């Protein structure tokens, strides 16, 4: 009987929504790399978007340049659970892929897929974006996660904190693959122009511009940013704060800015995308991300790609790789207004050489590309295929 290794290798990737442009960039690169290697690769997108993203922007199908099948239209949350379990379970029961990569472990339909693949002795792995810090560590959830990783013993993680997290849940260190988190940059992005653009438009040391980009929600701790900014104004009176985004906390945050006496120095742009969004990174002295719960913090990648240094809460997953105190990043203890104030006061003079700092940002973020993310997935998948564990009959 001929060995299965003589048959073309087939990858099957499951993903929850089409809306994510950065994952579209990674999957497009993965499709190209798989084609070059003769790998049969396909992505199953479960739905178009999620309920909280409806209305933010439409799904841009032009960025999804890879073999893809979409199972359901509309929002993931609008799909009946029995339909999800039936469709995903049926495909898990019939797939002929050599390796199946699951989108997570936080929904029952993913558990059904994993259990069926386990019964069929199919190689499977899961994408894990979590760390020990980004969600409450409840004992019963921890127990369930350990059961899931007993069924699905391989994990693809973002960064060292995510790797440590899955290993603590029972994944063997050799089965936890660290893949870089990559931003989906616009087609006209040109790294070579970044230093000059920063030097032409970035705020001065005397009148720094602090930037936040994201949703206006409690977990982002924008109230901490406002409190630290009001203190920063006392040290640097010409400072400004620009908040890019929308969300349920906007009214309360506007009221807080008034109470703190800094409302006149705060800009509220609402949600932005495309060139309007990226121009903020060129203007700002630095990005400030104060989140309490942030598995990685992709906006940090985007800022660094545009030569903009970052100040990041120590609870964000990207801190060890991108924002530990460095030539282009600072970190501070989450919710510590005094520590954040100190970082904001130091930032303008620390990063006064705009051109040099832009180069340092680009150097730091250089390896975090969709192609490198794709190559990490292929390398990990090959390791799984070569593992002498359970194999298809």
The string of pLDDT tens digits covering residues 266-322 is 999 999 988 999 999 999 999 999 999 999 999 999 999 999 999 999 999 999 999
What residues does each domain of the chain span? 4-182+369-386, 191-365
The third-level CATH classification (topology) of the domain covering 191-365 is Rossmann fold (3.40.50)
For residue 85, the tally of other CB atoms under 10 A from its CB is 17
The number of residues making up the chain comes to: 393
User: pLDDT tens digit string along 88-121?
Assistant: 999 999 999 999 999 999 999 999 999 999 999 9
Give every residue of the chain whose pLDDT is below 70, as ranges.
1-8, 19, 51-59, 389-393
Residues 6+ apart with CB under 8 A from 314: 331, 332, 333, 334
- Asked if the domains at 4-182+369-386 and 191-365 fall in one CATH topology, the answer is yes
pLDDT at 19: 66
User: Tokens for 17?
Assistant: 């929504």
State the Cα–Cα distance between residues 244 and 172, nearest whole angstrom: 41
CATH of domain 4-182+369-386: 3.40.50.2000
pLDDT at 129: 86
User: Tokens for 12?
Assistant: 């099957």
- Phi, psi (rounded to 5 degrees) for 29: -65, -40
SS3 labels along the chain = CCCHHHCCCEEEEEEEECCCHHHHHHHHHHHHHHHHCCCEEEEEEEECECHHHCCCCCCCHHHCCCCEEECCCCEHHHCCHHHHHHHHHHHHHHCCCCEEEECCCCCHHHHHHHHHHHHCCCEEEEEECCCCCCCCCCHHHHHHHHHHHHHCCCEEEEHHHHHHHHHHCCCCHHHEEEECCCCCCCCCCCHHHHHHHHHHHCCCCCCCEEEEECCCCHHHCHHHHHHHHHHHHHHCCCCEEEEEECCCCHHHHHHHHHHHCCHHHEEEEECCCHHHHHHHHHHCCEEEECCCCECCCHHHHHHHHCCCCEEEECCECCHHHHHCCCCCEEEECCCCHHHHHHHHHHHHHHCCCHHHHHHHHHHHHCCCCHHHHHHHHHHHHHHHHHCCCCCCC
Q: What is the pTM of this model?
A: 0.92
State the Cα–Cα distance between residues 23 and 32, nearest whole angstrom: 14
User: 177, 379 in Cβ contact below 8 A?
Assistant: yes
pLDDT at 391: 46
For 117-152, letters b (16+ CB in 10 Å) and e give: bbebebbbbbbbbbbbbbeeeeeeeeeebeebbebb
pLDDT at 58: 58
The candidate with the shortest Cα–Cα distance to 176, out of 144, 130, 112, 140, is 130
pLDDT at 111: 97
CA–chain centroid gap for 389, Å, is 31
pLDDT at 55: 44
Radius of gyration of the chain (CA): 22
State the Cα–Cα distance between residues 17 and 48, nearest whole angstrom: 5
């Amino acid at each position: 009987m001929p060995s299965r290794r003589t048959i073309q290798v087939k990858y099957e990737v499951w993903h929850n929504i089409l809306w994510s442009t950065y994952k579209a960039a990674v999957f497009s690169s993965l499709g190209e790399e798989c084609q070059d290697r003769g790998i049969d690769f396909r992505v199953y997108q479960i739905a178009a978007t999620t309920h909280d993203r409806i209305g933010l922007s439409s799904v841009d199908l032009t960025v999804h340049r890879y073999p893809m099948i979409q199972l359901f239209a509309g929002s993931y949350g609008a799909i009946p659970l029995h339909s999800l379990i039936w469709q995903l379970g049926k495909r898990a029961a019939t797939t002929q892929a050599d390796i199946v990569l699951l989108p997570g472990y936080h929904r029952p339909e993913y558990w059904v897929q994993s259990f069926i693949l386990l019964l069929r002795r199919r190689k499977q792995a899961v994408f894990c974006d979590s760390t020990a810090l980004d969600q409450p560590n409840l004992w019963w959830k921890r127990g369930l996660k350990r059961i899931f990783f007993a069924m699905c013993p391989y994990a693809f993680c973002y960064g060292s904190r995510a790797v440590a997290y899955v290993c603590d849940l029972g994944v063997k260190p050799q089965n936890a693959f660290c893949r870089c988190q990559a931003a989906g940059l616009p087609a006209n992005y040109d790294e070579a122009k970044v230093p000059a653009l920063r030097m032409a438009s970035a705020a001065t040391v005397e009148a720094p511009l602090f930037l936040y980009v994201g949703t206006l929600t409690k977990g982002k701790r924008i109230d901490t940013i406002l409190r630290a900014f009001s203190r920063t104004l006392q040290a640097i009176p010409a400072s400004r704060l620009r908040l890019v985004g929308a969300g349920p906390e906007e009214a309360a945050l506007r009221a807080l800015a008034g109470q703190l006496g800094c409302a006149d120095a705060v800009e509220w742009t609402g949600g932005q995308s495309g060139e309007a969004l990226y121009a903020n990174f060129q203007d700002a002295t630095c990005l400030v991300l104060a989140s309490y719960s942030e598995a990685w913090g992709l906006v940090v990648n985007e800022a660094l790609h545009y030569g903009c240094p970052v100040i990041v809460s120590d609870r964000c997953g990207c801190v060890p790789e991108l924002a530990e105190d460095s030539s282009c990043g600072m970190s501070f203890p989450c919710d510590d207004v005094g520590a954040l104030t100190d970082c904001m006061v130091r930032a303008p003079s620390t990063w006064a050489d705009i051109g040099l700092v832009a180069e340092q940002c680009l150097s730091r973020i250089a390896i975090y590309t969709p192609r490198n993310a794709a190559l990490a997935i292929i390398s990990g998948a090959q390791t799984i295929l070569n593992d002498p564990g359970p194999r298809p009959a």
